[in-house]
Amino acid sequence: MHPFTPVCAHPARVLILGTWPSPKSRETGFYYGHPRNRFWPMLARLYGAEPPRTREEKEELIRTHGLALWDVLASCEITGAADASIRAETPNDIPALCRELGVQHVLCNGATAYTLYQKHIPNGPAAEKLPSTSPANGAKSMDALCDAWGDALRRCGVL
């Protein structure tokens, strides 16, 4: 089962979804825990904040801006951190969380999160696929990530 609960503002306009926590995230005990993952530095840059260091600072960054953070999957079989190896997946109850929080937009962190969301949550809120902040996505610079994510967050009315 998923090692983390959702992090969310009440209400939250936007839900950001990953696939499943990496081994490093599970080791550090929180979302996007790999030191080279650009999620937290990118989000901080977009909101003009210092990059959060602690779990509490990360949660505050999410909640302060009307966001929610979770993963598409509640459980799966995976080899290391390789999204391509995911199988035997079970989705989280994303529609229930969206109803509870009043989520209006879903942003997927990477192609696999988007594909799994489309597969398992066909009647959920419309989702947008954004470039992955993973260190495995070296083709995207921090500037390119900020441009894509910033555009999406502006369209959603939270930036």
d(C-alpha 137, C-alpha 112), whole Å = 12
Within-domain flag for 1: no
d(C-alpha 104, C-alpha 74), whole Å = 21
Range of the domain at 77: 7-155
Contacting residues for 56 by C-beta, under 8 A, at least 6 apart: none
Q: Give which of 93, 113, 106, 130 is closest to 13, Cα–Cα.
A: 106
Contacting residues for 30 by C-beta, under 8 A, at least 6 apart: 4, 55, 58
Give me the pLDDT at residue 2, please. 86
Q: What is the mean pLDDT of the chain?
A: 95
Query: Domain containing 70 — which CATH number?
Result: 3.40.470.10
CA 51 to chain centre: 16
Q: CB burial class (10 A; 0-12, 13-18, 19+) of residue 36? A: exposed
Query: Taking residues 120-138, what's their average pLDDT?
Result: 93
Question: Tell me: the pLDDT tens digits for 75-114?
Answer: 999 998 888 899 999 999 999 999 999 999 999 999 999 9
Please list the residues that pair with 18 across neighbouring strands.
Answer: 71
Within-domain flag for 27: yes
Does residue 9 have a pLDDT over 90?
Answer: yes
Higher-pLDDT residue of 59 and 139 is 59
Domain count, the chain: 1
